[in-house]
């Protein structure tokens, strides 16, 4: 699976700086995501999806609130399976 963490780890420092600037964040936050297990909000996740082709919301460490928000706006079929998965956890 191509996750946000794996995509960031494969980047050069200059690419990380460019990604952070484009997403309106810092390279420090990117480091927190990949090394510190930082969870992100939906707005930043949306930026990463737009900036990194092939990346999906499900491939990112979202906060619980962001996960619920993503579930609400997801197609009904995906919503059902995500709710079942969350209920099992």
Per-position pLDDT tens, the chain of length 89: 468 999 999 999 999 999 999 999 999 999 999 998 899 999 999 999 999 999 999 889 999 999 999 999 887 765 455 555 555 54
Q: How far apart are CA 24 and CA 39, in angstroms?
A: 16
* Token digits of residue 62: 């979202």
**Is residue 63 within 8 Å of 70, Cβ to Cβ?**
no
Give the sign of the dihedral formed by CA 76, CA 3, CA 8, CA 29: positive
**Is residue 40 within 8 Å of 49, Cβ to Cβ?**
no
Domain ranges across the chain? 4-88
């Amino acid at each position: 699976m191509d996750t946000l963490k794996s995509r960031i780890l494969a980047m050069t420092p200059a690419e990380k700086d460019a990604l952070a600037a484009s997403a309106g964040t810092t390279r420090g936050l990117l480091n927190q995501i990949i090394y510190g297990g930082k969870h992100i909000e939906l707005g930043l996740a949306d930026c990463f999806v737009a900036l990194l082709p092939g990346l999906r919301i499900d491939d990112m460490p979202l906060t619980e609130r962001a996960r619920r928000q993503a579930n609400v706006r997801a197609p009904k079929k995906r919503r059902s399976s995500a709710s079942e998965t969350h209920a099992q956890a």
